Amino acid sequence: MDANVCVVHALDLGVHAKTRIHDFDCRPVRCLVSGCQRDKIRIGTYQKTKKHTYNCLAERIEELAQKCHLKNYWYAMSSLFKIGEKNLDKLFEILEIFPDNYSAEEVAIAAEFFKARGNDVRTFTDPNKPKVPESHDLELLVSSHNLWQGVTHIVSEDAHFVGNAQEIPSWGYKVAIIPMDKLNELEIFWRWT
């Protein structure tokens, strides 16, 4: 799971001022985690991703707090962050934390693939999105490739991964991308619920 998917798992922040504050993708991500646990499928994230997750959490909570029009905005933000932080702590007790396993050279090669052969991932919300992912995403890709002999699945909503889901294996990476918004469909197929 990448950092944003971990964050989404944490985004059921309870009912406040008669509003349930949650991300709609939270349920399928939670189903995925509990389904994998039940079926003894290894599920986890990387050491570096874990650290990055807490920084991503604040951004997502800010979006939610704005959407919900909560009173005392700053208080709401900081309190919801504390709840989210606790949820993330609980998640990381469940997830396996895989070792970061990449070299600078491998990351540079991955960047080159995206630059030379990657799809244009500019979006409506971010028309200036660069073609090459941020370094922590490249490190995640390389670490996943190096994790074991078989194929590693990355659950992500990042446009670079989702937009190049078909291409990434063809570049020689033993990695399959599961877009977060497809988890609902997979849930029915794999009967996670």
Partner 1 sequence: MLLESPDKARAWGVLFALSLRGDGVISGRVTLNKTLALLQRDGFPIENRFITKEKGPYDWHIHQDAKNLEEKKLLEITEKPTRHKSPITIYQLSEDGLSEVQEKYPARIESLPYKRIFKAKLEEIKNRFSEYSTPEIVDKVHQELLMDMEEEDARREMDDLVTDLMVARDTAETDRDSTCFICLNLLGSLDFAAESLKLAIKKTEGTNESSRNLIYFNAKDVLHWANKFPRHEHLRYCREGEGPLAAPREQLGYRLFCTEGLSSHYHILKPIRDEASLDEYIQIMSA
Contact between 86 and partner 1 per CB under 8 A: yes
Q: Which is nearer to partner 1, 58 or 111 (CB)?
A: 58
Stretch that binds partner 1, among 13-21, 124-132, 139-147, 177-185 (CB under 8 A): 13-21
Contact between 77 and partner 1 per CB under 8 A: yes
Among 16, 22, 174, 182, contact with partner 1 (rule: CB under 8 A): 16
Among 47, 66, 78, 184, contact with partner 1 (rule: CB under 8 A): 78
User: Which residues fall within 8 angstroms of residue 87, CB to CB, at 6 or more apart?
Assistant: 9, 10, 11, 12, 13
Contact between 80 and partner 1 per CB under 8 A: yes
121, 144 contact by CB (below 8 A): no
d(CA 85, CA 172) in angstroms, rounded, equals 36
Contact between 142 and partner 1 per CB under 8 A: no
Q: Kindly determine how many residues on this chain lie close enough to bind partner 1 according to the rule CB under 8 A.
A: 22
Place of tokens 């190096």: 146
Contact between 162 and partner 1 per CB under 8 A: no
Q: Which is nearer to partner 1, 54 or 161 (CB)?
A: 54
Q: Which is nearer to partner 1, 12 or 106 (CB)?
A: 12
Interface residues with partner 1 (CB under 8 A)? 14, 16-17, 51, 54-55, 57-58, 62, 72-83, 86
